[in-house]
Amino acid sequence: MLPAVLAGTASGAAAAPAPPSPAVSPSAPTVGINIDGSTVPPSSSLTILLALTLLSVAPALLLLCTCFTKVFVVLGITRNALGLTTVPPNQVLAGLALFLTLFIMGPTLSEMNDQGVQPYIKGVKSQSVAFKDGVEPLREFMLKQTRPDEIALMTRVSDAERPATPEDVPLTTLIPAFILSELRAAFIIGFVIFIPFLIIDMVVSASLMSLGMMMLPPVTVALPFKLLLFVLVNGWGLVITALAGSY
């Protein structure tokens, strides 16, 4: 009986727990915030959010930063010069102006996609770098089409310092100056388009006055001749060629 107790006591001593290790003081908590410095590809949710934001401002960008305004104004002036008020309708003119804009702006949009959008989606560039590189082709396009007088006008109106180089012109000054230059060019093209049709109106009006047909509206008689002249010279082709050639 005694040997069994001593054996149980020895096995219990062998199974005694080890003393606890000394406590380690916890390290101080740290908080890290990384703003616009990561080149990790954006998540699908962020990509969708950016796409929706771009679609919401797309009409303003289309009107103010592309050749859409100039093309649409010239097409509208051409319709008025013909004496037609609703033919072609505004929807047709807007659609034609939109596709002409895509045709003219195609190289610029491709450069913006290659330099800004795709590197940001792939995580190669951060958001600020991608925006700066992506907007550069559009800036070059607008600077090429903007008159220095318009830039000087907007700089003087905003009471800002005179930029040393064209690259120093901020977008808030460049965009309205670009629109003013586009409207000026559109009105010049419209003036040239109006001249032949104005001559036809004057000839028809003088002919009716000499024949004593003062009750017959000259516009009604001149309209077929203007349409015939416009078709014979391929008017729409000449207008589109002039618009595309101006860029």
Is 35 domain-assigned? no
Is 15 domain-assigned? no
Residue 246 pLDDT > 60: yes
Quickly state the pLDDT bin for 49 (edges 50, 70, 90). low
Is 23 domain-assigned? no
The pLDDT score that the predictor gives to residue 121 is: 77
Average pLDDT, the chain: 79
Tens of pLDDT, residues 100-157? 999 998 888 888 888 877 877 777 777 778 878 888 888 889 888 888 888 888 888 8
Alpha helices in the chain (DSSP H): 2-14, 44-64, 68-81, 90-112, 118-121, 127-145, 148-157, 171-210, 218-232, 235-245
Torsion of CA 58, 61, 66, 67, to 10 degrees: 80
The pLDDT score that the predictor gives to residue 46 is: 62
AA letter at 116: G
Quickly state the pLDDT bin for 39 (edges 50, 70, 90). low
Residue 36 pLDDT > 70: no
Is 25 domain-assigned? no
- Give the number of other Cβ atoms within 10 Å of residue 25's Cβ: 5
> Rounded to the nearest 5°, which phi and psi values hold at 180?
-60, -40
Is 198 domain-assigned? yes
Interatomic CA distance for residues 200 and 207, integer angstroms: 11
Interatomic CA distance for residues 48 and 113, integer angstroms: 16
Based on the structure, what is the number of domains in the chain? 1
Residue 70 pLDDT > 70: yes
Reading the block at residue 171, the tokens are: 């977008």
Interatomic CA distance for residues 50 and 133, integer angstroms: 17
DSSP-derived letter for residue 18 is P
Residue 44 pLDDT > 70: no
Is 16 domain-assigned? no
Tens of pLDDT, residues 154-203? 888 888 788 888 778 888 888 889 999 999 999 999 999 999 898 988 88
Is 90 domain-assigned? yes
pTM for this entry: 0.73
User: Who's near 42: CB < 8 A, 6+ residues apart?
Assistant: 50, 120, 121, 123
Domain of residue 178: give its range.
43-245
Reading the block at residue 137, the tokens are: 């082709």
User: Within 13 Å, how many C-alpha atoms sit on residue 68's CB side?
Assistant: 17
Is 146 domain-assigned? yes
